[in-house]
Amino acid sequence: MSAYLFDPPAVVAVPIDGQAATFPVRRILCVGRNYAAHRREMGGDDRDPPFFFAKPADAIVAPGSDVAYPPRTANLHHEIELVVALKAGGKDIAVAGALDLVFGYAVGVDMTRRDLQNAAKDKGQPWEAAKGFDASAPISAIRPWTGPAPQGRIALSVNGQPRQDASVADMIWSVAEIVCEASKLWTLAPGDLIYTGTPEGVGPLVRGDVVAGEVEGVGQLSFTVV
């Protein structure tokens, strides 16, 4: 095999609770409008089902790292989300077997340039600049998990002030349904992460803000916007 023209990018990896091994990230899928109250705050139609978009793997921000305020936005928003980490893949996965693909769960924040997203919506343009920018996917360590998906509290505060506080049980598509739906559109594989959507209460961040998020039973994350 011939040499690469330049060194290929390093594999992005996320720590795993209680294990020395890390979780190598293949790609990041995200679910939009997966909580009814958030769909309403975004001006959505109650009949519209959730949908997918994506972020590049290197958008991940490792636990404990600061998050740089991105350029070209004046309205950076937080979206606290449960993240699913897959250890297996496939296509056309049945809901009944979907949780067998899950390695574990993490807490993530889907950072969003809301002003660019609103402009893209108005123009019918894609969301990459609004959602898939550098450092747009802070994440906690992954907690290995078997059995039913988390159902507990999901919450985010900024500088100690509550912003989002809901229950993962309120998701429109369950974790199993998300894996099933995603596998109809893409061949899933080990290393895929899925950000499962955010509840109501999204809002702006400014430099210096300390963001703290949690999903009950899964973990916490915290970062400063710099």
Residue 85 CB, nearest distance to Mn ion (Å)? 17
Choice between 164 and 198, CB closer to Mn ion: 198
Contact between 79 and Mn ion by CB under 5 A: the answer reads yes
Binding region for Mn ion (CB under 5 A) out of 60-68, 71-79, 206-214, 217-225: 71-79
> Which residues in 125-144 contact Mn ion (CB under 5 A)?
none
Binding region for Mn ion (CB under 5 A) out of 64-72, 76-84, 148-156, 178-186: 76-84
Query: What residue ranges in the chain does DSSP mark as E strands?
Result: 13-16, 19-24, 27-32, 51-55, 60-61, 76-78, 80-86, 102-109, 112-113, 137-138, 143-144, 153-158, 161-167, 192-195, 203-204, 210-215, 219-224
Residue 131 CB, nearest distance to Mn ion (Å)? 8
Closest residue to Mn ion: CB criterion: 110
Binding region for Mn ion (CB under 5 A) out of 55-63, 67-75, 107-115, 148-156: 107-115
Distance (Å, rounded) from C-alpha 101 to C-alpha 82?
16
| CA neighbor of 132 nearest in space, from 118, 115, 112, 116 | 112
Choice between 40 and 91, CB closer to Mn ion: 40
**Of 83, 86, 98, 110, which one interacts with Mn ion (CB under 5 A)?**
110
Q: What is the DSSP letter of 35?
A: B
What sections of the chain are H helices per DSSP?
Answer: 36-41, 114-123, 128-131, 175-185
Residue 125 CB, nearest distance to Mn ion (Å)? 18
Residue 34 CB, nearest distance to Mn ion (Å)? 8
Binding region for Mn ion (CB under 5 A) out of 42-50, 105-113, 114-122, 149-157: 105-113
Choice between 16 and 197, CB closer to Mn ion: 197
170: left (phi over 0), alpha (psi -120 to 50) or beta: alpha
Choice between 16 and 194, CB closer to Mn ion: 194
Choice between 90 and 129, CB closer to Mn ion: 129
78 neighbors 111 (Cβ within 8 angstroms): yes
109 neighbors 65 (Cβ within 8 angstroms): no
Contact between 198 and Mn ion by CB under 5 A: the answer reads yes
Which residues would be at the binding site for Mn ion (CB under 5 A)? 79, 110, 198
